[in-house]
Amino acid sequence: MLAAERFFDPDPRQLSTALDLYALVRDLPIISPHGHVDPSLFSDPNQRFGNPVELLLQPDHYVLRMLYSQGISYERLLSKENPRQIWQLFAEHFYLFCGTPSGIWLTHSLEAVFDVTEKLNGESAPMIYDQIQTSLSSPAYTPRNLFNKINIEVLATTDGATDTLKHHQIIRSSGWSGRIIPTFRPDGVTNLEAPGWRENIDTLSTVSGVTISNYSSYIVALEQRRSFFRSMGATATDSAAVSPATEKLTNAEADAIFQRALHGKVTPTDAARFTANMLYEMARMSVEDGLVMQLHPGSCRNYNSKIYSQFGADRGFDIPMSTEYTHNLHPLLESFGNQPNFTLILFTLDETTYSRELATLAGAYPAVKLGPPWWFHDSWNGMRRYFDQVMETAGIYNTAGFNDDTRAFLSIPARHDVWRRAAANWLAGLLVRGVIDLSDAETLVVELAAGLAKKAYRLS
């Protein structure tokens, strides 16, 4: 059973302050400005989730990787057969998640969404499976009804530049009140080494109505798509890249690389320079069209080629790398960093950059905001380290509140709850130490829970 006081520091004075602050934000609607939930869940009002394994285990790469790390094969875990057996196996190994964010999110989801208060283990597994399955059959558990129950004010999805946003169209025309907006993700057409890049360019031509024969028409097509995404409610873009390198190529250089890519003759250096150029271009377009730019660098994706070739992407083998921002972002910031109408939200998997590079950039440039702790750092300790290392130098108002960044729809409330508790606990710590006063703390806990994200993503 989830303790009401969970996660808070035990000092009685800090704890009671934290509880007071948390009470101010516990029930605030959720702002989810960056995530990976599938919009198709919401286009059919009668859509249902499948079984517990399909819902909670198989799409969650955090969970899969931990089981795999202890010798459980993906063949077993990802099988479409015998979900009850897979659930049993999972439950018997649920002790592996002790003290991990996955363990915390799952426990929270089970209790908050499915009223499961018993600890998941081999013994309780069958009963809990049944309890979840029964819930999933009830009309209260359609995605749309859960969206309302969870109290989501706005949910941003992530959508390829070539996406027609069909499900977003259906949702909008359905008259349903849930606000679900797309986010423009250009990586599939800006990363020359992305799988299917060549086909993606053809699709980009088709959906944009712009015949792409060279770099200039490619840029026009991208601008068309951004405009379309904006018309569908998007307020932001999202770019991933191995490195945050940015560079302005001349049109001639960019076109030469682009032509080589069209002919399948791109080199790794070409690809790296083109990506750097496209990050620069995305910033330029954002200055023009007002879409907030997000940058998520530093992950070595699909690191385990055996797993990737057998089971595809997002299977727990994206491994972070040391990441450099100061030099890499310089060209972009020289051109656009002083623009007050431009917002660049930076993320990192390399926590050493918090106090060294990111907080100092965010605390000086009007354009730069710092995104919340990302991925492996979206955890109780990750948040504590973030508050500790970022806030004194960046200032709270140069951060972008919280993102859940999840494809696991049911983990959204758990993730926001951890953040809201972490924020309340941190502010309570400052308050009992006399660094801030109660009025500051009350303002800031609401900002951290919702206000900063709304402002940074232009969602109000």
Site for its own copies in 418-457 (CB under 8 A): 429-430, 432-437, 440, 443-444
Among 153, 326, 407, 454, which residue interacts with its own copies (rule: CB under 8 A)?
Answer: 326
337 near its own copies, rule: CB under 8 A: yes
Asked if residues 233 and 207 have their Cβ atoms less than 8 Å apart, the reply is no
Binding to its own copies, residues 148-167 (CB under 8 A)? none
50 near its own copies, rule: CB under 8 A: no
Residues with Cβ within 8 Å of residue 25, at least 6 apart in sequence: 420, 423, 424, 445, 446, 448, 449, 450
> Residue 145 corresponds to which tokens in the numbers above?
């009804």
Return the number of the residue (19 or 232) whose C-beta is nearest its own copies: 19
Among 179, 248, 284, 330, which residue interacts with its own copies (rule: CB under 8 A)?
Answer: 330
Nearest distance from C-beta of residue 402 to its own copies, angstroms: 17
Asked if residues 279 and 251 have their Cβ atoms less than 8 Å apart, the reply is no
Binding to its own copies, residues 196-225 (CB under 8 A)? none
Q: How many residues does the chain have?
A: 460
321 near its own copies, rule: CB under 8 A: yes
Residues with Cβ within 8 Å of residue 86, at least 6 apart in sequence: 53, 57, 76, 77, 79
Return the CA Rg of the chain.
22
Options 7-15, 133-141, 225-233, 281-289: segment touching its own copies (CB under 8 A): 7-15
Return the number of the residue (256 or 364) whose C-beta is nearest its own copies: 364
Binding to its own copies, residues 131-150 (CB under 8 A)? none
Alpha carbon distance 109, 120 (integer Å) = 12
Nearest distance from C-beta of residue 444 to its own copies, angstroms: 7
Residues with Cβ within 8 Å of residue 82, at least 6 apart in sequence: none
Among 87, 90, 97, 129, which residue interacts with its own copies (rule: CB under 8 A)?
Answer: 97
317 near its own copies, rule: CB under 8 A: yes
Return the number of the residue (148 or 443) whose C-beta is nearest its own copies: 443
Nearest distance from C-beta of residue 382 to its own copies, angstroms: 7
Q: Strands 299-300 and 319-320, how do they pair?
A: antiparallel
Asked if residues 49 and 409 have their Cβ atoms less than 8 Å apart, the reply is no
Return the number of the residue (102 or 133) whose C-beta is nearest its own copies: 102
Return the number of the residue (176 or 397) whose C-beta is nearest its own copies: 397
63 near its own copies, rule: CB under 8 A: no
> Residue 153 corresponds to which tokens in the numbers above?
């004010």
Options 126-134, 182-190, 253-261, 388-396: segment touching its own copies (CB under 8 A): 388-396
- String of DSSP letters for 301-336: TT--HHHHHHH-SSSS--EE-----TTTTHHHHHHH
Options 198-206, 248-256, 261-269, 386-394: segment touching its own copies (CB under 8 A): 386-394
Size of the site for its own copies (CB under 8 A): 90
Among 157, 393, 399, 406, which residue interacts with its own copies (rule: CB under 8 A)?
Answer: 393
Return the number of the residue (135 or 304) whose C-beta is nearest its own copies: 304
Return the number of the residue (231 or 305) whose C-beta is nearest its own copies: 305
What are the residue ranges of helices labelled H in 327-459?
330-336, 352-353, 359-362, 380-394, 412-432, 438-446, 452-456
Binding to its own copies, residues 344-373 (CB under 8 A)? 349-352, 355-357, 359-366, 368
119 near its own copies, rule: CB under 8 A: yes
312 near its own copies, rule: CB under 8 A: no
Binding to its own copies, residues 278-307 (CB under 8 A)? 300, 303-307
Helix axes 83-92, 125-137, angle to 10 degrees: 130
112 near its own copies, rule: CB under 8 A: no
Smallest CA-to-CA distance from 226 within 191, 195, 185, 259 is with 185
Alpha carbon distance 214, 22 (integer Å) = 54
Among 162, 389, 403, 411, which residue interacts with its own copies (rule: CB under 8 A)?
Answer: 389
Q: Strands 152-156 and 184-185, how do they pair?
A: unpaired
Residues with Cβ within 8 Å of residue 449, at least 6 apart in sequence: 25, 28, 401, 402, 416, 419, 420, 423
